[in-house]
């Protein structure tokens, strides 16, 4: 997936297998775009830890916490050597600022609904 982001504003970062990209409860600074490798998303701790998803090349994750400013809902761990494009909060906010107001509102509603559903599953 190629997105129109300035590489000076959106750096690439490499993560080694098993390396955390972020943890549940962290504050969000970036949205991640997987360029190669894979990232596993986990929720819960200890015996209650469960894998929710695997994000491969072209996949985007970490957007909810950037959109709504709430803490991360899950852990993101490199499932293999992974290269991601890091899209800073300010870049996403600028994209959203110029988007149709209906689309901005719809995104916020979707994020709120996802958080509400996740809370009910805990």
The sign of the dihedral angle between the CA atoms of 79, 85, 86, 87 is: negative
Average pLDDT over residues 93-121: 88
Taking CA atoms, 93 is separated from 8, 17, 38, 62, in Å, by 17, 30, 26, 14
- Token pair of 89, please? 């909060």
* pLDDT tens, position by position, 108-121: 999 999 888 888 77
Binning pLDDT at 50, 70 and 90, where does residue 9 land?
confident
Helices (H), 8-84: 63-68
pLDDT tens track for 73-85:
999 999 999 999 9
Q: For residue 92, give Cα distances in angstroms to 2, 95, 122.
A: 15, 5, 29
């Amino acid at each position: 997936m190629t997105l129109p982001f300035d590489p000076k504003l959106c750096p690439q970062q490499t993560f080694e297998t098993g390396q955390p990209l972020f943890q549940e409860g962290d504050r969000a600074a970036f949205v991640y775009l997987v360029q190669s490798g894979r990232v596993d998303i986990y929720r819960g701790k200890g015996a209650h830890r469960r894998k929710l998803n695997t994000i491969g090349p072209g996949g985007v994750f970490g957007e909810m916490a950037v959109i709504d400013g709430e803490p991360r809902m899950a852990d993101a761990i490199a499932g293999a050597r992974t290269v991601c494009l890091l899209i800073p909060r300010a870049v996403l906010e600028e994209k959203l600022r110029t988007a149709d107001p209906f689309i901005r509102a719809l995104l916020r509603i979707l994020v709120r609904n996802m958080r509400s559903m996740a809370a009910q599953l805990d």
